Structure 1
Amino acid sequence: MEPDVEPVENRPPPLPELAGVQHRFVEVRGVRLHVAEAGSGEPVVLLHGFPQHWYGWRRLIPLLAGEYRLICVDQRGFGWSDAPAKGYDTDSRVSDVLALMDALGLDRVRLVGHDWGAWTGFQLCLRAPERFTHYLALNMLHPWPLHRRLMPQAWRFWYTALLEQPLLGRWMLRRRPAFTRYLMRKGVVDGRVWTPDAMDEFVRSSREPDRARAGEALHRAFALRDIARLVLGHYKKLRLSTPTVILAGERDFMLPPAVLTGAGGHASDLTVEVLAGCGHYVHEERPDLVAKAARELFGR
């Protein structure tokens, strides 16, 4: 009797190789999440943005793995994690991370997030402040923006109107890879930051049918839920107690520094630092400065 062989088209693509990184899968809340780990020491959870996955931290990992245990999570729908039909709203992503920490036996961690991962990070610190000692947010505004500054910049989010539309969003990601490449190139000041293998990996991943559907669902959930919460002042009664630093790109096409103000009385310890000559992927363009900011914040 011949052994069962999984069809090639059903097999997950091979993981990119990175020295010192180990991989594991952890099932939480009915979803199998992929985790890439490196280093040893105090734990740091890293949450990627769109359209990246754990490999988005490949330049930061070698700089911090000698000091910390880095836990790079593929959020549901991305990378090598499961892509279920539901659960792409912020509340679900927050619950995923907290359940993962429980499964890994992590009571308190330092936290780093980029883009959508950074928005998730803010909500994590608001829901479970006792679980996070410090938070480094990359290229993301906090939940208390000044609307008079943010609204004139709303046109910068034009591309999300395509990605959040049912069926159209997944079609754009699957059938128009040039669109994803355009967004990634637009997100950096110097396009040479993207090596061909890295660009190809993130575009390839975004084109997988389940990943494309997840990308669409992620953007639609934010438009339907989070934007409404921001407009209606849902966060006004909440206060951020986790020491937090926001790193902004001076030339971020989506979130220019002008919209990244302080949080006033809504945060105990929040500062905004602008990195010159950087766009929307500061960890890709200046991983050295991101690592420096992490060390200084985590060392408080």
Structure 2
Amino acid sequence: MASRTTPVTAAVDRPLPHAEGAKHNWLEVRGIRLHIAEYGTGAPVLLLHGFPQHWFSWHQVATLSAAGHRLICPDLRGFGWSEQTRRGYDIDGLSDDLLALLDVLGLERVYLVGHDWGAHVGFRLCLRAPERFGGYLALNMAHPWARQRAILPNLWRQWYTAFIEYPVIGRAVLRRWPAFTRFLLRHQVADPSVWQADELAEFSAAAQSGAHAGQAMFWQYVVREIPALLRGKWRGQQLTVPTVLLGGERDNVIPPSMLAGGESHADDLTVRIVPGVGHFLPQESPQAVAGAMRELFATGR
């Protein structure tokens, strides 16, 4: 039975940023309205954005990879132009939204791309419903079996989450301190000049309008995902979807050392490091992302 939630706000009413070739739609999914942007026609590919972004994070990748593919870029619950609700921001809840979205679109099987938080959701989708995904490209996110000896020395890199995850405080920071969001965007790339001024303005505004969703997602990770990792919940799970994991050589959030160690838990997992880039591969190296998509989705490996 589909869960029902009470909307906090409707989708934001500011204008959608312009992206050549994008078509927009709003669909009823699990009792809320989700916004999707689509590019191209052909084999369907579901692309999941990270924080503090939305569908527009894929616009550079789309110009390079829309030919022969139907790129479906949803705004996750509460982000961008999708409805905000009081609850539903845990990884399983977001995964439920996306599986239901595929059902609404009439798609039995798609290719999958995820960045940052979207990549975290992507791993969960592939473990829960592997039959729905022909291949998975994960960007800038550790797999569920990251080694503790890699995690512990890098915990300090998550310092910024302390300003976001706590109820009340996190929402206030995101709503009232857009300079904090702009700092994170600049700090987490290898070369801050990669950001266009309109992108910084758009994504800092997105963090403000989606403050409830952003804070809730981080908090749900603290109260649900961290305990599950400590219990070894995913230790016995096997990743059967062919997967390529791309990391940035200079990623100061999820460094390359955190990407190793998943091969024994996967049938077909390849880890690659893109030189000279940081945590926002879709902006810093859209060519590498588009190239990995073409290779993985053309060969099915």
**1:255 aligns to what SS in structure 2?**
coil
2:125 equivalent to 1:158: no
Q: 1:11, CA displacement in angstroms?
A: 6.5
Tell me the residue number matched to 2:119.
118
TM-superposed deviation, 1:265 = 2.3
3-state SS, counterpart of residue 62 of structure 1: helix
Report the Cα offset of residue 149 of structure 1. Answer: 1.2
| Counterparts of 1:37 and 1:11, CA distance in 2 | 19
> 1:193: which partner in 2?
194
Matches within 5 A, 1:57-72: 57-72=58-73
Q: Which amino acid aligns with 2:217?
A: L
The residue identity in structure 1 corresponding to 2:26 is F
- Contact 2:12-2:81 at 8 Å conserved across structures: no
Contact kept, 8 Å, 1:262 with 1:272, in 2: the verdict is no
2:205 maps to amino acid: R
User: Which amino acid in 2 is paired with 1:30?
Assistant: G
| Structure 2 residue matching 1:124: 3-state secondary structure | helix
8 Å CA contact retained: 2:126, 2:239: yes
For residues 260 and 78 of structure 1, the distance between their equivalents in structure 2, rounded to whole angstroms, comes to 27
The residue number in structure 1 matching 2:244 is 245
Alpha-carbon distance change, 11 to 39 in structure 1, aligned in 2, over 3 angstroms: closer
User: SS state of the match for residue 211, structure 2?
Assistant: helix
Q: 1:28-60 deviations in whole A, cap 9, x for unaligned?
A: 111110000010110000000000000000100
Q: Which residue of 1 aligns with 2:55?
A: 54
Q: What is the identity, as a one-letter code, of the residue corresponding to 2:248?
A: G
Kept in 2, the 8 Å contact 1:262–1:271? The answer is no
Partner of 1:255: 254
**2:293 aligned with 1:294:** yes
Two-structure CA RMSD over aligned residues (Å):
1.2
Distance of aligned partners of 1:85 and 1:70 in 2 relative to their CA distance in 1, 3 Å threshold:
same
Tell me the alpha carbon deviations over residues 163-206 of structure 1, each in whole angstroms, 9 at most, x when there is no partner. Answer: 11110101111111111011000111111111001110011111
Structure-1 separation of matches of 2:159 and 2:56: 27
**TM-score, normalised relative to structure 1:** 0.95
TM-score (norm 2): 0.95
Runs of 4+ with >4 A deviation: none
Q: Distance in 2 between matches of 1:226 and 1:217?
A: 13
Identical aligned residues as a percent: 52
Q: For 1:17 and 1:166, how far apart are their aligned partners in 2?
A: 33
Using the TM superposition, name which of 257-266 and 231-240 deviates more: 257-266
Q: Distance in 2 between matches of 1:71 and 1:262?
A: 31
| Counterpart Cα distance in 1 of 2:297 and 2:206 | 32
* Comparing 198-207 and 113-122, the one that deviates more: 198-207
Match of 2:277 in 1: 278
Partners of 1:257 and 1:184 lie apart in 2 by: 19
The equivalent residue for 1:27 is 28
Q: Pick which of 94-103 and 60-69 moved more.
A: 60-69
Q: Is the 8 A contact 1:175 1:207 kept in 2?
A: yes
Distance in 1 (alpha carbons) for counterparts of 2:183 and 2:229:
28
| Structure 2 CA distance for partners of 1:11 and 1:106, relative to 1, 3 Å | closer
Q: Which runs of 5+ in 2 are unaligned?
A: 1-10
Deviation at 1:161, TM superposition (A): 1.6
CA distance in 1 between counterparts of 2:245 and 2:187 reads 21
Task: State the alpha-carbon separation in 1 of the partners of residues 254 and 67 from structure 2.
Answer: 32
Aligned equivalents of 2:150, 2:190: Cα separation in 1:
23
Shift of 1:157: 0.5
Corresponding letter in the other structure for 1:137: A
Give 1:262 shift. Answer: 3.3
Change (3 A) 1:17 1:282: same
Secondary structure of the equivalent of 2:85? coil
Q: Distance in 2 between matches of 1:248 and 1:205?
A: 25
| Partner residue, 2:108 | 107
Partners of 1:58 and 1:254 in 2: CA distance:
23
Unaligned runs of 5+ in 1: 1-9
Partner of 1:90: 91
Task: State how 1:139-154 maps to structure 2 within 5 Å.
Answer: 139-154=140-155
2:230 is matched with 231
- State the alpha-carbon separation in 2 of the partners of residues 162 and 19 from structure 1: 35
Which one has a bigger Cα radius of gyration? 1
Q: Does 1:131 align with 2:132?
A: yes
CA distance in 2 between counterparts of 1:147 and 1:197 reads 39
